């Protein structure tokens, strides 16, 4: 009888842990996308307001707008400007071949990549001379870079900023280790580097897509430079970015919040079982307890998410 009771309790514990794991997986795959969608709507409104004060003509691209109207001008890079504030929208990125249409924010930390694709601080800004580097989630938070592996040489990548519309064409893809920040180093010509986790549903390595500037439509055209002049490279990634690696280090996450929310979940469950046993009103306890438990579980999962690699 004693071993039977132990096995029964162990079975309940294992089934409960399995259910929690499945629910957490569902939250990561779909629940995080809801928050990312709200963030993207807010960021897009902010960026459109900024773009509305410039003479930049928005390209007709994206999932629902049909065939793109691309710039055909020469690949003239935009003038170098100061770095934006972390968390601020800096550009839209459109890749028609994989149905991507997102707002890019400044920063590649956990908090920034929960909003959308993030620009690596210290690298060139989109459209400017040097290597503009952008990271994005592949599995969670709307998984904007989920189909990055489908890009082929020649595929256009369109970035729109307050300085203009910039069309890059894909040159090559590669797979590197998460610590290999050499792909973020400055380049002589205007290039674009996109990074995300690979393989899908794993953070073991990083998929890197390299593209070069092909066409430009500047909001305020600058005088043409001689053909023999090579734009100088911009600065390399900032020390903090280099320490993070390719947007994948979650070492800044804290276990305190998950522990506290986990404890709250156990207390709520124990209280519900105790009240149900003493009062016999199991239906009433279920009706009240399930919504309360769902809210606590949501915050428990939300506190666990920052502990995952930033671009997972």
Q: Which of 194, 208, 209 is nearest to 135 (CA)?
A: 194
Q: What is the pLDDT of residue 16?
A: 80
pTM of the predicted structure, to 2 decimals: 0.81
Q: Which residue has the tokens 């055209």?
A: 221
Q: What is the pLDDT of residue 103?
A: 97
Q: What is the pLDDT of residue 238?
A: 63
Every domain of the chain and the residues it spans: 37-244, 250-312
Q: What is the pLDDT of residue 105?
A: 97
Asked if 210 contacts 261 with a C-beta cutoff of 8 angstroms, the reply is no
Q: What is the pLDDT of residue 194?
A: 97
φ/ψ bin of 239: left (φ > 0), alpha (ψ from -120 to 50), beta (otherwise): alpha
Distances (CA, A) of 170 to 69, 95, 175, 197: 18, 10, 15, 18
Mean pLDDT of successive 10-residue stretches along the chain, which has 312 residues: 78 82 86 91 91 54 51 88 93 96 94 93 95 94 94 96 95 94 93 94 92 91 45 55 62 77 90 87 86 90 79 72
Homologous superfamily of domain range 37-244: Sortase (2.40.260.10)
Q: What is the pLDDT of residue 208?
A: 97
Q: Which residue has the tokens 């999962």?
A: 301
The C-alpha atoms of residue 310 and residue 312 are separated, in whole angstroms, by 6
Q: What is the pLDDT of residue 108?
A: 92
């Amino acid at each position: 009888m004693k071993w039977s009771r132990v096995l029964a309790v162990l079975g309940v514990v294992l089934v409960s842990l399995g259910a929690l794991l499945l629910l957490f997986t569902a939250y990561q795959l779909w629940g995080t996308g809801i928050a990312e969608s709200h963030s993207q709507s807010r960021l897009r409104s902010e960026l459109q307001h900024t773009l509305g004060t410039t003479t930049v003509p928005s390209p007709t691209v994206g999932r629902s707008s049909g065939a793109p109207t691309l710039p055909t001008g020469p690949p003239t890079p935009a003038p170098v400007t100061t770095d934006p504030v972390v968390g601020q929208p800096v550009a839209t990125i459109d890749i028609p071949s994989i149905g991507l249409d997102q707002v890019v924010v400044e920063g590649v930390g956990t908090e920034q990549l929960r909003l959308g694709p993030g620009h690596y601080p210290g690298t060139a800004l989109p459209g400017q001379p040097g290597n503009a580097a952008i990271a994005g989630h592949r599995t969670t938070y709307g998984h904007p870079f989920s189909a990055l592996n489908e890009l082929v040489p020649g595929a256009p990548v369109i970035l729109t900023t307050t300085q203009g519309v910039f069309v890059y064409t894909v040159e090559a893809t590669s797979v590197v280790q998460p610590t290999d920040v050499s792909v973020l180093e400055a380049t002589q010509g205007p290039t674009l580097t996109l990074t995300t986790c690979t393989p899908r549903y794993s953070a073991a390595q990083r998929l890197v897509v390299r593209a070069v500037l092909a066409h430009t439509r500047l909001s305020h055209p600058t005088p043409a430079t001689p053909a023999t002049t090579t734009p100088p490279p911009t600065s390399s990634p900032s020390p903090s970015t280099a320490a993070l690696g390719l947007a994948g280090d979650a070492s800044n996450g804290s276990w305190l919040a998950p522990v506290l929310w986990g404890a709250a979940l156990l207390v709520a469950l124990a209280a519900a079982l105790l009240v149900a046993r003493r009062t016999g009103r199991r239906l009433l306890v279920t009706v009240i307890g399930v919504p309360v438990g769902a809210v606590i579980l949501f915050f428990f999962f939300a506190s666990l998410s920052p502990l995952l690699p930033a671009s997972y």
